[in-house]
């Protein structure tokens, strides 16, 4: 703890996903043969038609500040996308374009959470949600789930977690880290509970919506009675293999969109102008233009499921979306492997890193301390090698 720094920053945890990715990179630079299953990002190149649009935007001199909430024609393209893919009616005033869905989420949390407000986090949840709530001085309230319920919460659990202080709940389907997807019926049952508590807002993080292996994902705001209370978050990173381009967006009640624009106007302003121009082309393209990536992720999911099933002690669910496995590895806790006592998921992930050079992310920072996250957004050869190393290490334990 450095007393020259603010309490805010001293209390902020480092992002576990980024920390593990950085550690893997450092070890690789030291010559270690690291296989990274830590960072959740597509291993594809951005499609050529999007790259061409960016090159054109540079030549067309899109070098000035953009409107803080994004170019109007981009926000119109976002509205059309929401209508086409999600059956959601938004107007451009309800859209805010930001520097990644991460900024979109942070804007919303800072715009609506007051100190002491409770924010419900169905666990497992993406690492940064809890940190964002902390930054806003809100109180995170976890609603636990486990692999036995396919990592989904029940309406009774939701009802029990709500208090007069509850201001916000995060939904994320398909889910990072579990890959679970709520059906329309399951979402409706949760919406029925929320309908009784009109003070609660809902963030629906739909960044993995296209990375789905059975059917389509349902948008929470598509329930008429939830529309006015839901902030729909999405972005280009996952669907279009554009993690480094940094573009996310929200569709929200107009007053929330306005508040997020104000927030962003005092921090980063409008996002990268070149990325915004390319985003119009990406969003206008038919969803079929990215299906080759989804097909490949599905093939890898099926392969990794089969390979991981052969490791004794890994309890698995079959993810319906996103590109992660999130096995329960608590079988190994309390056991000594290669002279190391495995106390928890963090200890287990360090064992994999140090002994077989496989980088993963432990479940603690996702609110699921029994589990371990492995991204399968990497080549088949790397996936086969990673699982084979783990199997050799863990055989007979």
Residues that bind ligand PMP (CB under 6 A): 40, 100-102, 126, 172, 176, 205, 207, 235, 237, 243, 248
| Out of 39, 203, 221, 279, the residue judged to bind ligand GLU by CB under 6 A | 39
Q: Are the beta carbons of 142 and 126 closer than 8 angstroms?
A: no
Determine the residue with CB nearest ligand GLU.
40
CB of 102 to ligand PMP, least distance (A): 3
* Minimum distance from residue 240 beta carbon to ligand GLU (Å): 15
Asked if residue 40 binds ligand GLU (CB under 6 A), the reply is yes
Handedness of CA 381, 386, 391, 393 (dihedral sign): positive
Give 1's Cβ-side CA count (13 Å radius).
Answer: 6
Q: Both tokens of residue 93?
A: 């005033």
User: Given CA atoms 338, 340, 341, 346 in this order, what sign does their dihedral have?
Assistant: negative
Q: Which of residues 110-149 bind ligand GLU (CB under 6 A)?
A: 128
Least distance between ligand PMP and beta carbon 217 (Å) = 12
Helices (H), 87-148: 100-112, 127-135
Mention every residue, 6+ apart, whose C-beta is less than 8 A from residue 327.
Answer: 147, 308, 314, 315, 316, 371, 372, 374
Residue nearest to ligand PMP (CB): 100
Among ligand GLU, ligand PMP, none, what does residue 39 contact (CB within 5–8 Å per kind)? Answer: ligand GLU
The stretch among 14-22, 187-195, 261-269, 301-309 that binds ligand GLU (CB under 6 A) is: 14-22
Nearest distance, CB of residue 144 and ligand PMP, angstroms: 18
Minimum CB distance to ligand PMP smaller for 159 or for 364: 364
The reply on whether position 176 binds ligand GLU by CB under 6 A is yes
End-to-end CA distance of the chain: 39
> Taking the CA atoms of the chain, what radius of gyration do you get in angstroms?
21
Q: Select 200 or 211, whichever has its Cβ closest to ligand GLU.
A: 211
Helices 380-394 and 291-309 sit at what angle, rounded to 10 degrees? 20
For ligand PMP, give the closer residue by CB, 107 or 176. 176
Binding mask 41-80 for ligand GLU (x = CB under 6 A): x---------------------------------------
Q: Which does 172 bind (CB under 5 to 8 A by kind): ligand PMP, ligand GLU, none?
A: ligand PMP
Q: How far is the CB of 313 from ligand PMP (least distance, A)?
A: 27
In whole angstroms, how close is the CB of 41 to ligand GLU at the nearest point?
6
Nearer to ligand GLU, 191 or 247 (CB): 247
Q: Which is nearer to ligand GLU, 66 or 362 (CB)?
A: 362
Q: Does 235 contact ligand GLU by CB under 6 A? A: no
Instruction: CB nearer to ligand GLU: give 237 or 264.
Output: 237
For the bound state, the minimum distance from the C-beta of residue 98 to ligand PMP, rounded and expressed in Å, comes to 8
The tokens for 370 are 């029994």
**Cβ closer to ligand PMP: 40 or 319?**
40
Exposure b/e, 376-389, CB count within 10 A at least 16 = b: bbbeeeebebbbeb
Contact predicate 202/171, CB 8 Å? yes
For the chain, the farthest-separated pair of C-alpha atoms sits apart, in whole angstroms, at 62
Question: Where does this chain touch ligand GLU (CB under 6 A) — which range of 35-43, 140-148, 228-236, 259-267?
Answer: 35-43
Task: For ligand PMP, give the closer residue by CB, 245 or 357.
Answer: 245
We find the least distance from the C-beta atom of residue 61 to ligand PMP, in angstroms, to be 26
101 lines the binding site for ligand GLU (CB under 6 A): no
Q: Which residues, 6 or more positions from 287, have their beta carbon under 8 angstroms from its beta carbon? A: 85, 210
**272, interface contact from ligand PMP, ligand GLU, none, CB < 5-8 Å by kind:** none
- Using the structure block, give the residue that is written with the tokens 């360090």: 350
List Cβ neighbours of 58 (8 Å cut-off, separation of 6 or more): 274
**Element housing 341 (H / E):** strand 340-341
Q: Report in angstroms the alpha-carbon separations of 366 from 21, 129, 324, 328.
A: 16, 9, 13, 13
What letters, b where the CB count within 10 A reaches 16 and e where it falls short, cover 197-223? eeebbbbbbbbbbbbbbeeebbbbbbb
* Binding interface with ligand GLU (CB under 6 A): 15, 17-18, 39-41, 102, 128, 176
């Amino acid at each position: 703890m450095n007393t020259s720094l603010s309490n805010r920053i001293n209390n902020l945890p480092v992002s576990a996903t980024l920390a593990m990715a950085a550690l893997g990179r450092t070890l690789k630079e030291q010559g270690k043969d690291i296989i990274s299953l830590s960072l959740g990002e597509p291993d594809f190149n951005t499609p050529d038609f999007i790259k061409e649009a960016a090159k054109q935007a540079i030549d067309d001199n899109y070098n000035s500040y953009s409107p803080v909430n994004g170019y109007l024609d981009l926000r119109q393209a976002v509205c059309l996308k929401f209508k086409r893919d999600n059956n959601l009616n938004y107007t451009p005033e309800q859209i805010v374009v930001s520097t990644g869905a991460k900024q979109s989420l942070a804007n919303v949390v800072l715009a609506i959470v007051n100190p002491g407000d409770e924010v419900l986090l169905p666990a497992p949840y993406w690492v940064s949600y809890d940190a964002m709530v902390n930054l806003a001085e809100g109180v995170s309230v976890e609603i636990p789930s486990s692999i036995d319920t396919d990592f989904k919460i029940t309406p009774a659990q939701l009802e029990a977690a709500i208090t007069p202080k509850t201001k916000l709940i995060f939904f994320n389907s398909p889910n990072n880290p579990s890959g679970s997807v709520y059906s329309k019926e399951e979402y409706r049952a949760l919406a029925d509970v929320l309908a009784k508590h009109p003070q609660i807002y809902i963030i629906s993080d739909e960044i993995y919506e296209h990375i789905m292996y059975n059917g389509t994902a349902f948008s929470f705001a598509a329930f008429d009675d939830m529309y006015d209370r839901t902030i729909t978050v999405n972005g280009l990173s996952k669907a279009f293999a554009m993690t480094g381009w940094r573009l996310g967006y929200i569709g929200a009640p107009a007053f929330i969109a306005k508040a997020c624009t104000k927030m962003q106007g005092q921090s980063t302003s409008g996002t990268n102008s070149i990325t915004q121009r390319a985003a119009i082309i990406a969003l206008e393209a038919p969803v079929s233009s990215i299906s080759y990536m989804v097909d490949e992720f599905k093939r890898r999911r099926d392969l990794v499921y089969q390979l991981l099933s052969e490791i004794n002690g890994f309890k698995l669910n079959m993810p319906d979306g996103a590109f992660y496995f999130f096995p329960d590895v608590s079988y190994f806790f309390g056991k000594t492997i290669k002279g190391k006592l495995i106390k928890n998921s963090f200890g287990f992930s360090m064992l994999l890193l140090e002994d077989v050079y496989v980088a993963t992310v432990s479940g603690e920072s996702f609110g699921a301390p029994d589990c371990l996250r492995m991204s399968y957004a990497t080549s088949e050869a790397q996936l086969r090698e990673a699982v084979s190393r783990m199997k050799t290490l863990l055989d007979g334990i």
